[in-house]
Amino acid sequence: MNKSRIYELLFCSLGLGQKLGVVPKIRNDESGQVLVFTALSMTILLGFTALATDVGVLFYAKRKLQIAADAAASAGAVDYLYNGSATSAIAAAKAAATQNGVTGGSSGANVTINVPPSIGPNVGYTGFVEAIVSTPNPTFFMKVFNRSSVTVAARAVAGDPPSTACVWLMATSGTALTLKGSYTIEAAGCGMYVNSPSSNAIDVTGNGGTFNAGYVDVVGNATGNHSIGPTTATTNADPMTNPYGNLTGPDPNNGGCTSTDSTSTTVTGSITGPGLGNAMCYTKAVTLNNVTFGAGTYVFENGVTIPSGSTVTLNGGTFDLYNGTYNQASNSTLSLTAPTTGSVSGTLNSIAFMVPASNASYTCGNNTQLPLVFGSSSAKLDGVIYAPCAQLNLNDSGGNVAAAGIVAYSLYDNSALLSLPNYNQVHASTTPLRAISLVE
């Protein structure tokens, strides 16, 4: 740089350039502008990069916390379902949070469990558990703005809402629900699920019947006059499985019988039951003539008949038609009360009458009839009929069935009355028809 250039810069810096008539050429020198803009742009880009990095880390922390909150709420709800204790549920929920990396009071983490929830749509509902977890998380670039950490929180609510369905018809094809004549189905407190995907999954003949249900979901379609109050059937519903799965009772061939009667062909009078959790097995086909059974499971290995004029009562137990057929004559009454004690985990809890899928007399797809109504016969079941491969047959207007739930392959109702008080509502604290789910 020559001396004149140096003098120009010096005069300019002292504010003497204009007074001395020296015009600094540096004003018109544009070299270095790109470098200035590049430096400014890099600063902004680095700022956004830093922000994105911190936000990404916090989102990752949020996801991990949500997993911990979901696990805590679910574990607490499951524990409450089986133990009915808020204290026990809270302990189970906190243990689940710890297993997922969040321990209350450790490293600034906080775990709050509320049984029932304190906020949200399920506030105050028994059986629902709320988990709120939070942890402080260090930042990297936000420290420039005096934010060395950010508290991240997550919340979850799990519960065991009872199933709103009370009838599951599990036919995989063809007609699953046949309604004829002046049939009456009263299921105002629950709904019906029809698994068949066929176009005639529901087949209604005539318009003299009444069907009052909360809802009816059918995988396929319906034919005939299938008006259902207060709404019509929902067609093309999603397929479902029955809530009990492949339920089986005691196996007589594998030590399942607490006691065995291998001689009787007729049973009458009062029978001392084997007690809850125990099974009395009848090896021969038996006729039940005015019998009162004590608590327990009764396994019929070769079928059972209830003759005309007979009343059969069982308080706190299950009729298990292990093999053979069931026959109930006109002018007879069957009254069963399903077991509810022994915890929800009891395999036959809520089951009043069962025909397991293994019964060779009732093969899925054959629509073999299980006649619970014939003539003026009646069945009063405080429990569920579980017959996943049988057609539940209700025939004649003189009889009626009152059952708290039905799982069957199909249902045929010709002018009979079927009443369905929802088992989940009647036995809300013991019903096994529940599935723990995250609701918030």
The better pLDDT of the pair 375, 291 is held by 291
Residue 175's closest CA among 371, 367, 370, 406?
367
Q: How confident is the model at residue 340 (pLDDT cuts 50, 70, 90)?
A: confident
Mean pLDDT of 314-330: 94
Please answer whether residues 179 and 204 qualify as being in contact, where contact means their C-beta atoms are separated by less than 8 angstroms: yes
Please give the structure tokens belonging to residue 229: 């109050």
Of 50-54, 163-167, 301-305, the least confident: 50-54
Please answer whether residues 35 and 64 qualify as being in contact, where contact means their C-beta atoms are separated by less than 8 angstroms: no
d(CA 326, CA 387): 12
Cα-Cα-Cα-Cα torsion 245, 250, 255, 261, nearest 10 degrees, comes to -160
Of 50-64, 244-258, 307-321, the least confident: 50-64
d(CA 64, CA 105): 18
Q: Which residue has the tokens 């057929």?
A: 325
Following DSSP, what letter does each residue of 49-105 receive, concatenated?
A: HHHHHHHHHHHHHHHHHHHHHHHHHHHHHHHHHHH--HHHHHHHHHHHHHHTT--TT
pLDDT of amino acid 29: 53
Q: Answer whether residue 16 shows pLDDT above 90.
A: no
Q: What is the pTM of this model?
A: 0.70
**Is residue 94 classed exposed, middle or buried when 0-12, 13-18 and 19+ CB atoms within 10 A define those classes?**
buried
Q: Which residue has the tokens 């698994």?
A: 195
The one-letter amino acid code at 101 reads: G
Please give the structure tokens belonging to residue 56: 């990404």
Of 14-18, 60-64, 180-184, 314-318, the least confident: 14-18
pLDDT of amino acid 241: 81
Residue 211 neighbours by CB under 8 Å, 6+ apart: 179, 183, 185, 226, 227, 228, 229
Mean pLDDT of 268-291: 94
Q: Answer whether residue 99 shows pLDDT above 80.
A: yes
Q: Answer whether residue 34 shows pLDDT above 70.
A: no
Mean pLDDT of 379-403: 87
Question: What stretch of H or E contains 188?
Answer: strand 184-194
Q: How confident is the model at residue 172 (pLDDT cuts 50, 70, 90)?
A: very high
pLDDT of amino acid 90: 93
Separation in Å, CA 401 to CA 152, 229, 392: 56, 20, 11
d(CA 391, CA 385): 11
Please answer whether residues 285 and 264 qualify as being in contact, where contact means their C-beta atoms are separated by less than 8 angstroms: no
Q: What ranges do the domains of the chain cover?
A: 56-159, 165-430
Q: Which of 109-113, 161-165, 238-242 has the highest mean pLDDT?
A: 109-113
Please answer whether residues 295 and 340 qualify as being in contact, where contact means their C-beta atoms are separated by less than 8 angstroms: no
d(CA 164, CA 432): 13
Of 216-220, 222-226, 255-259, the least confident: 222-226
Q: Answer whether residue 440 shows pLDDT above 60.
A: yes
